[in-house]
Structure 1
Amino acid sequence: MPDLKSPLVSILINNYNYGRFLTAAIDSAIDQTYPHIEIVVVDDGSTDNSHDVIASYGDKILPIIKSNGGQASAFNTGFAASHGEIICFLDADDIFLPHKVAEIVKIFTADVEIGWCFHALNFFGDSSQKFESQHNWSSGKYDLREIIKGGKLRGKMPDINLATSTMCFQRELLAQILPMPEAIRITSDDYIKYLAIGLAPGFVSIAELARQRIHNNNAYTLRTDRDKQKLFARINILTAYWMKSNFSSIVSKFSNNIFAYAMSIYWLNGGIESESQETIDKYLDALTIPEKIEVYARIIFNYMKYRYSS
C-alpha cells in the first residue's frame, strides 16, 4: 500500500548526447532534501560519453540504455521501469533545486484529488541573453477539465514555461496517458501535459523549483527563425493528431484548435513540409463536415491575423 505521508518519488531523466550536462542533472536529483526517491536515467541511444557518465553512478541510479527512439520512447521506457507514486521528469541538460521534490510531495499529499503539478523555473547557461520569468498569478489548484474540453487554455492558468523539467504527476494519472505514441519524437511533453489537464485537477506553483539550461543545442527554446516556426507546426500537428485519436472525448475541440493554429503557421512560413502531409491528411479525413468548416475558418482567421499584424 502506498505511503501517503512519504511516497516514493521517481525522477525520470531522459538523455540523448548530453553527456557534458548529465552529471549536473543526476547530481541535482541525488542532492534532493527529500530522501525517498529513485532516479531512473534513460539513455536514448547516445553516441557521446553519456554511457560512461551513467556507469560512474553505480547503484545510485537505475540506468536504462536503449536504441534511439526519440523523447516519447524515452518517457515510455522510463515510466515503465519506475516504481514511484509520484513521477517528476528532468531533462538531462536541466537541474532540480535541492528542495524541489520536497515541495512537490507537500503539494500532492495536501490534496489527494490533484493529479498533476507544474511549477516555474529559471534559466541559466551559455546564452548571454537575459531571461526573466513573468508571474502575474498566484500558486494554487486548477481544475481546467471543462476549459480544455471547450477548446482553449490561454489565459486560464499562470504564464509559466511548462518545460519537461517542470512536470510532476501522480502515477495513477500518468498511467492513463503513457505509453504515448512514439511518433512524437521531440517536445513530447505537450501531449502529456494537455491530456493531464483534461483528465484531472492539478496544481500550478509559481515557485522556481528547477533551472533550464540554455545552450546552442537546445532543440527549440532559443530558435526564432522560420525553421523554428515549422518545427513548432510539425510538433503541434502530431500532438493534435494523437490527442484526438486517443482521447477524442476529452480534447477533441482543443486538438482542432491546435491543428488549425499549426496549419496557419505552415501557411505563413512557405507551406506544409512533406513529413507532416500524411498526418494532416489523416486528421482532416477524420473530421466531420462541420468540424472541417470550423477548422478551415480558424486557419484562415489565424493566417490573416498574423499575416497583417506586422
Structure 2
Amino acid sequence: MSKDLQASIIINNYNYGRFLAEAIDSALSQTYPNTEVIVVDDGSTDNSREIIASYGDKIIAVLKENAGQTSTFNAGFRAARGEIICFLDSDDVLLPAVLEQAASFFTNTNLIKVHWSLWIVDAHSRKTGALKPPHTIPEGDLLDLVIRDGPDSAVWSPTSGNAWSRQFLEKVFPLPEVEKEFGVGSASADAYLSMLAPLFGHIKRIEEPQGFYRLHGQNDHSAMSFDKKLKRDLQLFDHRSAILSKYCQEMGVNVEPDKWKENSWFYRLHLATEEIAKLIGQKTFILVDDDAWMMDDSDNRSVIPFLERNGQYWGAPSDNETAIRELERLRQSGANFLVFAWTAFWWLDFYSEFHYYLRTKFSCVLENERLVIFDLRAEL
C-alpha cells in the first residue's frame, strides 16, 4: 500500500481524561506520514473535552452524547477518510512505527486486518511483564477456524491491537449498538470485528508488541463482579453467534451454532462455576487457572488464587517443592478444596511430583474436561 493513501486512528473516549493525552500523543507521533487522528468523546463528564480542545486542528474532534463504546466506533468511522483504520482505546498507547509497519502489509489486496499484541501496563504506565493477548495470535486464512469454532475461535488482539482495511469495514459497518440492551458501557466492538474478519479475507501478525494496554481497575469490565461479567459475556456470545451465523448463511456457508455454544469459553466457564457451586458451596477453595478466569469472591464464594501473595495471583511456582509448600500453607490457613481449571491442566504434567502428592494424599472428588477437584479436608 502506498504511503500516499490515508490512515485514520480513531480514539474512543469516555471519562478517561487522565489517560487521554497520552493516547492522543501516541497517535500524533506515528511515523506513517499520512495519518489523521480522530477523537470521539462519548459524553464525558470529566476534563476530557478540555483536553481534546487543547489539541486544536491537530485532531478531528467528534463530540457526542453518551451511547456506549460501539457508538463511538460508528461515529468515528463516519468521520474517517483513511483506507487503513485503527481504533485506539483512550487508556491505551501505540508505539510510533506501528501504522508504518501495518501499512507495509496492505499491498496484499486480500488482507483485511493486521494485528499485534500489547504490553500490559498499570495505571502509572509501568510494564507488568505480561502481554495482551498472552499467547501468539493467529494469522493467515482463518475462515475454516471461524466456521468450525464460531465467535470464540481464537484469542484476538484487543481494540488497540488492530489495523483494518476500510474495504472490510465498509461491509460490516455500522456495528449494532447493543450496550443499553445489555446494560454495559462496552459490548466489545473489537471482538465483533475480529469474529467477522476471517469471512472476508486474510490476517497478518506483527511479531513484536506495538503498544501498551492499560489495566487500572476503573474500566467497564473491571468494575463488574465475576458473575455479572459472565452473565454479560454469555449474552454477548449469543448475540455475536447469531450475527456470525447470519453472515455465514448469506455467504452460503453451513455452520453449527449449537457446537459453537457447546465449545465456547464462556459456556464452559458457566458450567464449571455451576459445578464448583454445587460441590463446594461457600467453602474456601484454591483455584489453579493461570489467572484466566478472573474469578472473585462475589456470589458467596471464597476463592484463593494459586500461587498468591496478599490475596493476589502471583504466577506459577518455580518447582514442585514450592507448589507443595504453598498448598500446605493455604490448607493450614483454612482452604478446603483445590480446583484445577482446564486452562491450567498442563500443571498436572509439568509439576508431576506435585500431581503425585495430590493423588496419593487427597481424594479427587471431580474430574472432567473442565475441572479436577481435590478435597483437602482429610488425608487418605
TM-score w.r.t. length of structure 1: 0.76
CA separation of 1:140 and 1:207: change in aligned 2, threshold 3 A: same
Residue 58 of structure 1 and its aligned partner are, at CA, apart by 0.7
- 3-state SS in 2 of match to 1:253: coil
Matches of 2:59 and 2:177 in 1, distance apart? 25
Matches of 1:99 and 1:254 in 2, distance apart? 41
Contact 1:214-1:222 within 8 A present in 2 as well: no
- 3-state SS in 2 of match to 1:12: strand
Matches of 2:46 and 2:134 in 1, distance apart? 38
1:112 equivalent to 2:109? Answer yes
Contact 2:118-2:161 within 8 A present in 1 as well: yes
CA separation of 1:68 and 1:172: change in aligned 2, threshold 3 A: same
Matches of 1:82 and 1:4 in 2, distance apart? 18
Q: Which residue of 2 aligns with 1:28?
A: 26
Of 299, 306, 310, 2:370 maps to: 306
Residue 228 of structure 1 and its aligned partner are, at CA, apart by 3.2
Q: Which has the higher contact order (CA 8 A, sep 6+)?
A: 1
Contact 2:3-2:32 within 8 A present in 1 as well: no
Residue 246 of structure 1 and its aligned partner are, at CA, apart by 4.7
Amino acid paired to 2:121: F
Aligned positions of 1:218-297 closer than 5 A: 218-220=219-221, 225-249=226-250, 253=255, 256-260=258-262, 261=264, 262-269=266-273
Matches of 2:22 and 2:246 in 1, distance apart? 38
Deviations 1:225-266 (A, max 9, x none): 333333332332222233334554468737544544344544
TM-score w.r.t. length of structure 2: 0.63
Aligned positions of 1:11-160 closer than 5 A: 11-109=9-107, 111-126=108-123, 130-133=128-131, 141-151=139-149
Amino acid paired to 1:183: V
Q: Which residue of 2 aligns with 1:279?
A: none
Q: Which residue of 1 aligns with 2:294?
A: none
Stretches of structure 2 lacking an aligned partner (at least 5 in a row): 180-185, 275-367, 375-380
Amino acid paired to 2:255: K
Q: Which residue of 2 aligns with 1:289?
A: none
CA separation of 1:267 and 1:53: change in aligned 2, threshold 3 A: same
Aligned positions of 1:152-191 closer than 5 A: 162-184=157-179, 185-191=186-192
* Percent identity over paired residues: 31
Matches of 2:79 and 2:257 in 1, distance apart? 30
Q: Which has the higher helix share?
A: 1
Deviations 1:95-141 (A, max 9, x none): 000111111111213x222111111111112388934238775x985
**Aligned-residue RMSD, C-alpha:** 3.2
Residue 48 of structure 1 and its aligned partner are, at CA, apart by 1.0
Matches of 2:78 and 2:92 in 1, distance apart? 22
Contact 1:230-1:269 within 8 A present in 2 as well: no
Contact 2:241-2:257 within 8 A present in 1 as well: yes
Q: Which residue of 2 aligns with 1:195?
A: 196
- 3-state SS in 1 of match to 2:207: strand
CA separation of 1:118 and 1:254: change in aligned 2, threshold 3 A: farther
Contact 1:226-1:269 within 8 A present in 2 as well: no
- 3-state SS in 1 of match to 2:111: coil
- 3-state SS in 2 of match to 1:207: coil
Contact 1:237-1:258 within 8 A present in 2 as well: no
Amino acid paired to 1:124: V
Residue 151 of structure 1 and its aligned partner are, at CA, apart by 2.7
Q: Which residue of 2 aligns with 1:278?
A: none
Deviations 1:136-175 (A, max 9, x none): 75x9850111221223587x87x6x510001111100111
Contact 2:150-2:241 within 8 A present in 1 as well: no
Structure with higher Rg: it is: 2
Matches of 1:49 and 1:202 in 2, distance apart? 38
CA separation of 1:61 and 1:309: change in aligned 2, threshold 3 A: farther
